Amino acid sequence: MRSSIFVASWWIAVASCTVDVTLARDPAADAHGQDVGDDADASSSADSAETSVPDAELPDAATSDAGADAAPQQWLRVFVPTNADLRGIWGTSSRDVWVVGDRGTLLHWTGTAWFSSPSPAGAVSYRDIWGSAANDVWAVGVDLSGLLSVAHYDGRSWFRWPLPPLRYAPRAIFGTARDDVWIVGGPFEYASDSVLRWDGARWNIVRTGGRATRYLDVGGTSPNDLWIVALDDTLLRWRGAFELDAATLPVAVVSFELGLFASGPEEFWVTADAGILHRYMRGTWTSVDTGTRNTLRNVWGVDGRTLWAVGNRGTIVRFDGASWSVAEEVTPRTLLSVWASSASDAWVIGEGGTVLHSVR
């Protein structure tokens, strides 16, 4: 993407329920992705240098109550150079992990140390992060004016992707390919029936055709198997067009704290209150009691059978394909997101700069 240089433009066209939002690079942008002509952003634009912070895993660890066939899993606290709430995590491997959060936090784990990158848009509250590769990473958030802010990492540096003013508070970002990336959320002032999609050239506003609501999370396994879950009991499916009522949650969602993870075609998990996970598999819902009463906020899985969910009161639950194990009050902080590269290498993040790393 950095190999092409564009001129920013803005136009709206309605076709197939899609409003195109053409968003592109300024041809005068410098090598570090700074938006030339925007004095407010110039002082905070990211350059290629990062601040190194050595890994500082503390020796004390919390151990989960493992199931009969599960090996115990310990969670070590990891020092990072911020006490901001950390909200989104994504990586390509055990040696390439990104974490984003409030106050413009962009942290990178390289396998031996943490690096802190300056935010290209200042004190943005970053809400989530996703990428297709180590040189194609997107972070989304909201700035101090309440406007959507999108940043892109090309493998060398972060730059702020120029957007027209759009009052849209993102909740999550997810993609299935370099040219198929989605942002879900909604405006502050009112509910909406729109989400955003990157097609490899521009960000488009896509109308879902459903009732106005707040979209909370998105996940899938391919461009033709992508799901979006909303504040009420709505689930939307995208297969080249949105299918309404493709599947309805077994209970209405009345909380913003909800996560979705797709573990296979037409198979995904949705978090809920009181330690419940709802599992959808080819048209059938099953509600699973994970063994905690705490609200679960985010869920992630690997290898088709290992699954983690995290939530309130420092709760982490893990499924090993046969049984659930529960670790409660691993930290007094609320845990907001989880990501893993394998069954033995998982990361959990949360409030107050909390970062936990699994040890098995």
Instruction: Express each pLDDT in 81-125 by its tens digit.
Output: 999 999 999 999 999 999 999 999 999 999 999 999 999 999 999
- What integer pLDDT is reported at residue 69 of this predicted model? 45
Verdict on whether the full-model pTM lies above 0.85: no
Strand residues in 136-248 grouped as ranges (E): 136-142, 148-153, 158-161, 169-177, 180-186, 194-198, 203-207, 215-222, 225-230, 235-238, 242-243
pLDDT band for 246, please (50, 70, 90 cuts): low
The residues that bridge with 70 in the sheet, in sequence order, are: none
pLDDT at 150 over 70: yes
Domains belonging to the chain, first-starting first, are 50-193+208-359 (2.130.10.10)
Mean per-residue pLDDT, 321-347: 94
Range with top average pLDDT, 59-68, 238-247, 321-330, 345-354: 345-354
Tokens of 171: 């909740």
Q: How confident is the model at residue 23 (pLDDT cuts 50, 70, 90)?
A: very low
SS3 42: helix
Query: Predicted confidence band at 136 (pLDDT cuts at 50, 70, 90)?
Result: very high
Q: Dihedral of CA 13/14/16/17: which sign?
A: positive
Contacts of 92 (CB under 8 A, 6+ apart): 131, 133, 134
User: SS3 of 314, please?
Assistant: helix
Cα 207 to Cα 226: distance, rounded to the nearest angstrom:
15
Q: Confirm if 58 and 238 have CB atoms less than 8 A apart.
A: no
Alpha-helical (H) ranges within the chain are 39-42
pLDDT at residue 243 is higher than 90: no
pLDDT at 14 over 90: no
Structure confidence by residue, pLDDT tens digits, 215-239: 999 999 999 889 999 887 778 899 8
For residue range 262-282, list pLDDT tens digits in order.
998 889 999 988 999 999 988
